[in-house]
Structure 1
């Protein structure tokens, strides 16, 4: 018997979702996840997400393996897909339509803390991503002393100096603002940022073109996944970095290759809110 799965995507950032509610440990090993994510010999995805039972009084627990087998703390597009998956699972358990359960919110335990996604009646998913972490030790990076922020700090990568701002949304992000985001050779420069010595746990890297204060274009190299069409935590980190550099508003549209996300860094509670879609692609069984 194969393991049942459902594939979802959030703006083209695609994931294999597995109902893992009967066990507190993922039913696949990282090595198996790599095979599942292979786009030629497997199902094909940027990562595998496991819906595990609740932990510490929360609704569910989220674990994720990247396409290279590494385990990130969190994934913004992934948690929107997980929320949709959970609604679909609960609807099937109750023999009702998913739409009849909306709106629906969850408290989901992740390695980055508790995240709260809410699926609206429209199908859009808004996630309370929590407060950003800005100190060098929290990211982590050695670009500054532990208790200082990294804002517009020069960094030498591939013989070029980049001004970078670092933000953690539970996972590390290095953001740099450029004149033309389409001109960045992402496949070449991305790995050099990810594995730079100043990032002891590697980093996600976002290259940003500011079109207006409320509209930014973004391309991303994700730690453990490479070039992807969208990165939810990255979009959140980008807005925070833009505010810190006084080049964008606290609410803006972040345009990714896969489509737009609406991001807000609230002045009231300093929490970051992300709104975007999540869609089912297909379901099946795999014995890989």
Structure 2
């Protein structure tokens, strides 16, 4: 089938965004075979993306349903940078004229607010700290956990934000072992659904630097939910204030969390180009 799409990015975290409302897609299961998603995600043989985002009609009282497929073909529940691109996409495609948009995800509803200066603020929901909610295997909830693999051990904070995150403190993100430690922790046995791994350098109580190794995608230029995770983990340890600027390789996000309610993330979303491509459906 021939499918229209838009290529977008949020601070360099890039997406293939598909309108599944005016185009017919399956509502359940993967809309395309996993090997076809991997082909489309290839930067040599396809469109190239970190995640594929699919807009579908809501099943409940939300405005839309929001699905996220990694470049390896796996489906995940949450993506903060993708959510900002989703909001701009549905407005630019004329699918809604609302400034505040409610979307249904596999992790529950979230609200996306477009600002007057072309930024998007996303209510990412409240952090989940109980191990079974993250999910991870641990004897009890803790501010930090020790993960062991062979002769190596790491102290990390862990939180659930619709997807699992762990964050470790580093002296300098430029020299952090993201390429080696990232994949080791991503598939660590204590995380049954794998985990996104953040490497956080604290600049001040209101500013951090961050690199994120995302499950199913590898290191990306930015990870919105990873930025939220790093901030709330840093707040829980007493290191950070309620409002924090997070500098990622692709740019900066503003994260705000007062200790209750949802985490608010504000940042840009950019359209790169529109296109169409032949996709195998079986």
Q: Name the TM tier (shorter chain).
A: over 0.9
Higher helix share: 1
Q: Does 1:274 align with 2:261?
A: no
In the alignment, is the contact (CA less than 8 A) between 1:30 and 1:65 conserved in 2?
no
The one of 33, 39, 43 equivalent to 1:39 is: 43
> What is the root-mean-square deviation of aligned Cα atoms in Å?
1.6
1:185 positional shift: 2.3
The one of 72, 79, 84 equivalent to 2:83 is: 79
Q: Does 1:197 align with 2:192?
A: no
Q: Which residue of 1 aligns with 2:61?
A: 57
Q: Which residue of 2 aligns with 1:235?
A: 227
Q: Give CA deviations for 1:59-94 in whole Å, capped at 9, x if unaligned.
A: 00011110000101111101111111000111xx69
Equivalents in 1 of 2:129, 2:221: separation in Å?
A: 25
Q: Which residue of 1 aligns with 2:17?
A: 17
Q: Which moved more, 1:66-75 or 1:182-191?
A: 182-191
Q: Which residue of 2 aligns with 1:283?
A: 274
| Pair 1:158–1:276, CA change in 2 (3 A) | farther
Q: Does 1:120 align with 2:115?
A: yes
Q: Does 1:161 align with 2:156?
A: no
Equivalents in 2 of 1:68, 1:159: separation in Å?
A: 29
Equivalents in 1 of 2:83, 2:156: separation in Å?
A: 27
Equivalents in 2 of 1:265, 1:29: separation in Å?
A: 39
1:287 positional shift: 0.9
The 5 A counterparts of 1:167-178 are 167-178=159-170
Equivalents in 2 of 1:165, 1:279: separation in Å?
A: 31
TM-score w.r.t. the length of structure 2 is 0.93
In the alignment, is the contact (CA less than 8 A) between 1:48 and 1:66 conserved in 2?
yes
Q: How many residues are aligned here?
A: 275
Equivalents in 2 of 1:5, 1:158: separation in Å?
A: 44
Question: Partner of 2:202: helix, strand, or coil?
Answer: strand
Question: Partner of 1:117: helix, strand, or coil?
Answer: strand
In the alignment, is the contact (CA less than 8 A) between 1:158 and 1:189 conserved in 2?
no
1:161 positional shift: 2.4
1:250 positional shift: 1.6
Question: Partner of 1:241: helix, strand, or coil?
Answer: helix
Q: Give CA deviations for 1:80-139 in whole Å, capped at 9, x if unaligned.
A: 11111000111xx69xxxxxx5x7111100011101011112110000111010011111
Q: Which moved more, 1:115-124 or 1:151-160?
A: 151-160
TM-score w.r.t. the length of structure 1 is 0.91
Task: Note the residue ranges of structure 1 that are not aligned, 5 or more in a row.
Answer: 95-100
1:205 positional shift: 0.3
Q: Which residue of 2 aligns with 1:97?
A: none
Equivalents in 2 of 1:52, 1:133: separation in Å?
A: 27
1:271 positional shift: 1.4
Equivalents in 2 of 1:231, 1:32: separation in Å?
A: 24
In the alignment, is the contact (CA less than 8 A) between 1:132 and 1:169 conserved in 2?
yes
In the alignment, is the contact (CA less than 8 A) between 1:177 and 1:208 conserved in 2?
yes
Q: Does 1:130 align with 2:125?
A: yes
| Pair 1:158–1:248, CA change in 2 (3 A) | farther
